[in-house]
Structure 1
């Protein structure tokens, strides 16, 4: 048998490409993010450890985001369109998050009569955040487990579990602050 080995960086690139496609980003989204993160780290003159963290975070930040696509598509319909709507959204702004959810539900229930659509959207909105929180938690947990299997540091794995959090505690899924 031939011993096949693959460098961790190459494997991470494959994971990044798969995550990019599964989340509706361009195939090179993670790679471009990584190049930008490394350039900023270089210009800022940060330590080697901070650079390493930036590298891994930029390559793997969405690696867990396709863990429960079935739940997202079951509630919101086209989960890739939903993910694209969420790009750049301030997850702490509940009004904006609600607007994105309503937009997704309108796509999902497009074939209903207006009254029936409004009722379906109202019913779906009552469940949306209750479903979104565990979904986002699962994304983070899967990313952290992949990080663990890749042998990444505790700090990097912790960071992979916080991609939707905010400084003021209004992020998701745990409302961390700091």
Structure 2
């Protein structure tokens, strides 16, 4: 006879879903595996050392984990290449030539390349 799991153990926690997305992002972005989880662990240790309240600790946990989940994970690198406002380099794709569309990407990349 098989036992049926209780509803409490059958649920997937939000934290588990975000952690899974974080792991997938590590693989997709070429970061070391569990990079985002380690950063979140460090943030939580700092929150613990700072004796923050439970709400602040929870916000710290999710903010750090979400930072390393999805497309925001390379935001620091993108800012270095494209500058503070990435939107100023975007060009419409559907109403321009291929060269015009790529101009929004190429020009900032060339500016960030060191000139030897």
Q: TM-score range by the shorter chain?
A: 0.5 to 0.7
The TM-score normalised by the length of structure 2 is 0.55
Say if 1:90 and 1:7 are closer, same or farther in 2 by CA, change over 3 A: closer
Contact 1:23/1:65 (<8 A) preserved = no
- Matched-pair contact (CA < 8 Å) for 1:34–1:55: yes
**Uncovered stretches (5+) of structure 2, i.e. residues with no partner:** 83-98, 107-116
Q: Which runs of 5 or more structure 1 residues have no equivalent in the other structure?
A: 67-82, 99-120, 130-178
Q: What CA RMSD, in Å, does the superposition of the two structures yield over aligned residues?
A: 3.4
Larger Cα Rg: Structure 1 or Structure 2?
2
Aligned partners of 2:75 and 2:69: how far apart in 1? 15
> Residues 90, 127 of structure 1: CA spacing in aligned structure 2 closer, same or farther, 3 A cutoff?
closer
The answer on 1:57 being equivalent to 2:41 is no
Cross-structure match for 1:40: 46
Deviation at 1:122, TM superposition (A): 9.7
Q: TM-score, normalised by structure 1?
A: 0.38
Aligned to 1:9: 15
Q: Distance in 1 between matches of 2:101 and 2:67?
A: 32
Tell me how far apart the structure 2 counterparts of residues 8 and 123 of structure 1 sit (CA, whole Å).
38
Please report how far the alpha carbon of residue 65 of structure 1 lies from its aligned counterpart in structure 2 after TM superposition. 1.1
Write out aligned runs for 1:21-170 (5 A). 21-65=27-71, 88-89=76-77, 91=79, 96-98=80-82, 124=102, 126-128=103-105
